[in-house]
Structure 1
Amino acid sequence: MDASAITVTLFGLALAGFVVWYFFFSSRPVASAMSSSGGVQEVDITVKGGYSPDVIEVERGKPVRLNFYRDEENSCSEELLMPDFNIRRGLPAFKTTGIDLLPQQPGRFEFTCGMGMLRGSLLVK
């Protein structure tokens, strides 16, 4: 191997390391649900190449409404899976879909697109 091949290899490894860190280990901002007058914790989530916000904090034992607005036609984001709550819901493009649930136990509960590429989590305190 000559010097240019070594340089390209090291640059590729560094770039791959950054991508792994960014998608799996970097800290994400946490959005707390806002309680409405009816006591329902509500959060608006935009779906466009990912979930924004992708980490949502709620209180256990109180009803939660997650409003997913799908701002794209990408086929990956057309379905939402929340396996811990037995939820599988289609998300129509350019429309808001409400998901109602009642978290009873504290913990971190993941949600994904149908293909598992887009990820988010619900933090129940």
Structure 2
Amino acid sequence: MDSSQILVTILGTGLIGFVGWFFFLAPHQVAAAVSSSSGVQQVDITVKGGYSPDVIEVQKGQPVQLNFYRDESNSCSEELLLPDFNIRRDLAPFQTTTIEFLPEKAGTYPFTCGMSMLRGSLVVK
């Protein structure tokens, strides 16, 4: 093996490690919903190369309002899927899209973009 092959192998291994860390081990931003005076739990989420925060904690049995502000025009983030609640919405670029639902069972429910590249979790307690 010559030096260029060794360098490419080292760089490739490093990139594979980075991708694994980024998707599986990187710290998540967790946000607990804030209840309004009317009892609706609200969370503001920014969509820009991912969801921020990407872990949302809410209480079961209380209405939830998720406000997704899409701060980009990347085609991957144009759709939001929350399959356990039968929610599928288009997110307009540089606008806020509000999604309302009532979580009735405790558990962890994933939400993704239409391509399943951007991921987040809804934790119902």
TM-score normalized by the length of structure 2? 0.92
RMSD over aligned Cα, in angstroms? 1.3
Structure 2 unaligned regions, length at least 5: none
Say yes or no: does 1:113 pair with 2:110: no
Pairing 1:73–2:73 present? yes
> Which amino acid is 2:111 matched to?
F
2:86 is matched with which residue? Answer: 86
Moved over 3 A (4+): none
Equivalences for residues 3-14 of structure 1 within 5 A:
3-14=3-14
The alpha carbon displacement at 1:7 in A equals 3.6
Give aligned pairs, total: 125
CA deviation map 1:52-111 (0-9, x unaligned): 111111111111000011111111111111000000011111111110011111111111
Residues in 2 aligned to 1:109 and 1:41: alpha-carbon distance in whole angstroms: 16
Structure 1 residue ranges without an equivalent (≥5): none
**2:30 touches 2:56 (CA, 8 Å); kept in 1?**
yes
TM-score w.r.t. structure 1 length? 0.92
Question: How many Å separate the matches in 1 of 2:79 and 2:15?
Answer: 31
Amino acid aligned to 1:83: P
